[in-house]
Chains A and B, each alone.
Chain A
Amino acid sequence: MIVFKQLFSLLPALILMLVGFISFLFMSFKKNLNLIKNLNILGFILSLLSLFLVYRSVPIKIGEILFINFFSIVYLGVLLLIGLCSCILFLTNKKRYIQNPENFFLLINLAIIGAMFAIISNNMIIMFIGIELMSLPMLALSGYFVNEKKSVESSLKYLILSTISSCFLLFGISLIYCISGNFNFFHFNELSIFSSYDVDRIVLFAWCFILTGFGIKIAIFPFHSWISNIYEGISFSSLLFFSTIIKIVSFIILINFFIFFPKNNLHNLFFLIQILSFFSILLGNILALFEKNIRKLLAYSSIAYFGSLLISVVTLFDNKFALESFGINIVNYVLSSVIFIGILNYISTIDNNHYHNGFEFYKGLFWRNPILSILMTISIFSFAGIPFTIGFFGKFFLFLLIIEQKFYFLGISFLLGSVLSMYYYLRIVVNMFINEPMINKKNLLIKKKISNNWIFTFFGFLMIILSMSILFFGINLNFLINLFSI
């Protein structure tokens, strides 16, 4: 029986559901972009605000299937922020693609609801449904701009991969169900009662499947090959969604699994994850080193980034900083990605020929649009981990974890990876700061069309707020640390 307090703690999701329902009704009777747009943005903002109300009643169990604690509240906030940002990003390039722009908002709304339920679920089935509810709108989002060839291709690829990953995940879940006889996360500790050689083998097997399922979604080492193609094809406003929400949610669920799982079953698995992390960091960085396409570079660097985040998963039990390091890295990734992709999106709106994918296009950007390129530089520096940005603290925490746990090989790969990543991130920055006396055809476009008016739009305001918060948190980290230390 659900009491009012439990229902109240679902308020953020309920608001989004209501908004989704209303916009669905409007779409079926009379399409009105302005109304749906405002409704969705308002919905996201209200939902963000309602987190402050819910915050007082956590931790709370809702039935046996949902469990909200402080950890999930923070990440719900992150998800809603991404949703809000991708709505705003979409508005900046609506002129190019005029095919039912209302659908975009509804799809994002649905995907965020799915992601929210996946995070707060306490039951593997609800979790799976949440993941599917998140992934299916993504499918539509990736193929949203059908007038582009690559968009269709990437959509198809994502369809196949998403299905495969769901299959793996489902098989892993059912294997665990075989042993424990329960879908609930809280009952995982019963596994240690049955522990025997055979059971441990089956659990390890199940874990390999689950890890494969999530590995495809996060795109870490052996399952990474899809990511560059999809990043290349889709539009930037969907890319933001792709590169952040799926990965963050999959990671958080992985962590949820591990937190409730009995420790003694996991030692072999953690060794496996260390190997995955080692290779993801090296491979992602090396691939990105020789990349000339800025979207692909983002894809490969994200492989390395999430590979290094696996370190905080491995140290989950032995170190109390693991969750903080994860949280700080996630915040850094989200803020930097929103700024980086947002600015790329803005630049891409003036270019119809895909020139914006190459580095040449950004040559001398600083001398024409100082503020735009400074914001982009801040986000890149935060990715790379230069001091006085959050990225540096993320890197610091990961080094701390590695050194405390004495993972020497991971340490070497992370060290090398950090240096390599510095190099390719720097290439983008250098391109912006080089003054090119001969303006070629490619970057003539930038000179002509971008004026500094964009600062005064809602989008510009968002970009400036976010990049200021990167610098602010980079200097005053205490707030974030307190937020993530539960």
Chain B
Amino acid sequence: MLLLLLIIIPFLGGFISWKSEQYNIKYPRWIALITMSIVFSLLMYFYFYKFINFVHRTSDHRWIIEFSYPWIPKFGISFHLAMDGLSLLMIFLSSILGIISVLCSWNFYQHYKGLFYLSLLHIFSATMGIFLSVDLFLFFCFWEIILIPIYLLIIFPSVKNNAKRRRISSANSFFMYSQFSSFIMLVVIINLSTLYYIKYNFWTFDYELLINLFNENKNFSILEHVLMIGMLIGFAVKIPIVPFHGWFPNVHRYLPVVGSIDIIGFLSKTGIYGILKFVIPLFPNSSHNLANFFVFLGLLNIFYGALLAFSQSDLKKVIAYGSISHTGLIFSSIYAYNQISYEGAIIYLVSCSFSTSALFIITSLLKKYFHTKNIYKISGLLENFSWLPGFFLFFCFSSIGLPGTGSFIGELMILMGIFEKNPTLSGIFFLGLMCSVVYTLRFMQNICYGNYKNVSECTTISSIDILTLFIISFFLFFIGLNSKFIINILCLTKPII
């Protein structure tokens, strides 16, 4: 029942927030904040009172808690929610990022606040659904439904009218990419279920049953490979992995900052979560067969993202391509099939979500004070502002792996894992990481130094922004200094790899 609450509370909160706009323009953001906090405190409560004891009991359980209710019995579809270590961690991360995204939109969007928070909370609710559902049909429903609020968030009215057409076309490209991939995923899911029906003569969409389908025999089968690639495409579009990344930079360019945080924090994570939770366990043989190929694909991602980030002039595009580079590292470390690099990937994922979100927030602040997003026109941040440059430098360094932050631990563990598999490859990965250092340095150097003549009178940022950035940096340090926390959560249940 708790699991259902995690989905329902933000869903209802969205409607209340929307309708409360009529009474006072300030209510929606408070209601959104309260809703997010309720979810977060619920999670904290259960973490400290339920899950901690769970560790000592057993480590071979698949689920920590479970909720099941039959939905369409004829097809064996049930409303089956369950939580394991990975999804608990992801939900923790989402709820923190949810609070941050409410805080950083505190003073924006005077006009359509209600609708804005409605879509924000519904994205949050659907994300919870994605992380909790273990019935493949239910999972797909949430996977599809999350697109609508994100789409609405992208096409929301912005200040400038001339960018409207381009913003809508970028939103459309996002939607088409997602639709196409998710329909392929639907076909794969139905195909899995049909295979199960042919074999055992009853319909089911349940993860725990379908997982046996290819696990039993270790033979090479073309069907398994085709299905695996189909499902992987579904997830790869959202991460995004290189051939499917076309929507990503443009969408970020036209999105409001909250939307960017949502896409980085929620959507990309759902992709990686999907690969870990569904692709690898459901298709173990073919994933293992093609693992080397996927490692190289991730490597390609790292270089490609870094190179393109180096040549961009738009602030948000630089960060977006940088994030493609980061996800490449995560993707290839998943397919390294190694416990250390798997844990490292998760730590790196969490830390990257925080640092990239923080960079997006800082981008929006820079745009507010300098009235441009072009890197070459922003300069002299260091001299003219009091709080911003410190945070900016910190998050930049954290995204390239400053010791003490989470990224460092993550990178270290990933490289160790890959080194165990193939030392030469690990060297190439190191080169890839160097590339990310290069573009980040250029980015920092352009913005922080130099002269800026027309300094506006406002040389300090508002306290709410300081609070937001402070929360993020706290968590970055927390992960960096206490990585055991994440590994403990992951080890609550039977590890996936």
Contacts and interface: CB of A to CB of B under 8 A. Distances in A.
Contact of B183 (A387, A418, A434, A478): A418
Interface in B9-25: none
Contact of B72 (A392, A411, A434, A477): A477
Interface string B150-181: 01100101000100100010011001100110
B224 to A, nearest CB: 15
B74 A481 contact: yes
Contact of A399 (B74, B112, B190): B190
A253 B176 CA distance: 37
Contacts of A269: none
A434 to B, nearest CB: 7
Contacts of B183: 415, 418-419
A110 B142 CA distance: 45
Contacts of B72: 477-478, 481
A6 to B, nearest CB: 34
Contacts of A386: 144-145, 148
B243 interface: no
A400 B152 CA distance: 30
A404 B75 CA distance: 14
Contacts of A481: 72, 74
A388 interface: yes
Given A386-B144, A399-B186, A433-B152, A422 B194 contact: no
Given A419-B176, A437-B161, A403 B168 contact: no
Contacts of A485: 74
A430 interface: yes
Contact of A430 (B157, B168, B186, B190): B168
Contact of A422 (B164, B171, B176, B190): B176
A440 interface: no
Interface string A469-483: 000000001100100
Contacts of B144: 386-387, 392
Interface in B384-432: none
B194 to A, nearest CB: 5
Interface in A412-438: 415, 418-419, 422-423, 426, 430, 433-435, 437
Contact of A388 (B141, B172, B175, B194): B141
Contacts of B161: 437
A182 B494 CA distance: 68
Contacts of A422: 175-176, 179
A396 B172 contact: no
A157 to B, nearest CB: 35
A423 B178 CA distance: 11
A478 B69 CA distance: 13
A58 to B, nearest CB: 23
Contact of B145 (A388, A415, A423, A433): A388
B184 interface: yes
A419 B179 contact: yes
Contact of A433 (B155, B184, B187): B155
Interface string A434-456: 11010000000000000000000
A381 B141 CA distance: 13
A392 B175 CA distance: 17
Interface string A39-81: 0000000000000000000000000000000000000000000
A308 to B, nearest CB: 13
Interface SS of chain A:
helix
Contacts of B51: none
Given A387-B144, A419-B180, A433-B155, A426 B172 contact: yes
Given A477-B72, A478-B73, A481-B72, A403 B141 contact: no
Interface string A364-392: 00000000000000000100001110001
B187 A415 contact: yes
A482 B172 CA distance: 38
Contact of B164 (A399, A426, A434): A434
A223 to B, nearest CB: 28
A368 to B, nearest CB: 14
A426 B175 contact: yes
B194 A400 contact: yes
B370 interface: no
B73 A411 contact: no
- Of the candidates A387, A403, A411, A477, the one having the most CB atoms from chain B within 10 angstroms of its own CB is A387
Nearest to A478: B72
A293 B367 CA distance: 40
B187 A387 contact: no
B140 interface: yes
Nearest to B70: A478
A400 B190 contact: yes
A403 B189 CA distance: 10
Interface in A239-298: none
Given A396-B186, A426-B175, A478-B72, A434 B168 contact: yes
A163 to B, nearest CB: 41
B191 interface: yes
A435 B155 CA distance: 9
A423 B74 contact: no
A387 B145 contact: yes
B146 to A, nearest CB: 10
Interface in B55-112: 72-74, 112
A435 B144 CA distance: 25
A403 B187 CA distance: 8
Contacts of B157: 434-435
Contacts of B155: 430, 433-434
Nearest to B146: A387
Contacts of B180: 419
Nearest to B79: A475
Nearest to A393: B72
A388 B146 CA distance: 12
Contacts of B172: 423, 426, 430
Nearest to A485: B74
Contacts of B151: 426
Max count, chain B CB within 10 A of own CB: residue among A381, A388, A396, A423: A396
Interface in A190-207: none
B100 to A, nearest CB: 26
B438 to A, nearest CB: 39
Contacts of A426: 151, 172, 175
**Most chain B beta-carbon contacts within 10 A, residue among A381, A418, A435:** A435
Contacts of A388: 141, 145
B259 to A, nearest CB: 15
Interface string B126-158: 000000000000001110110010011001010
Contacts of A403: 187, 190-191, 194
A399 B179 contact: no
Interface in B290-326: none
A414 to B, nearest CB: 9
A78 B186 CA distance: 30
Nearest to B18: A370
A188 to B, nearest CB: 31
Given A430-B168, A433-B155, A387 B140 contact: yes
Nearest to A474: B141
Interface in B22-70: none
A387 B176 CA distance: 16
A17 to B, nearest CB: 38
Contacts of B179: 418-419, 422-423
Contacts of A437: 161
Contacts of A419: 176, 179-180, 183
15 contacts: A387-B141, A388-B145, A392-B144, A399-B186, A411-B187, A415-B187, A422-B179, A423-B172, A426-B175, A430-B171, A434-B155, A435-B157, A478-B73, A478-B74, A481-B74
Given A399-B186, A423-B179, A481-B72, 5 more contacts: A396-B190, A403-B190, A415-B183, A422-B179, A430-B168
Question: What 8 A-B pairs are tightest by C-beta distance, nearest first?
Answer: A387-B141, A435-B157, A387-B144, A422-B179, A419-B180, A387-B145, A419-B179, A403-B190
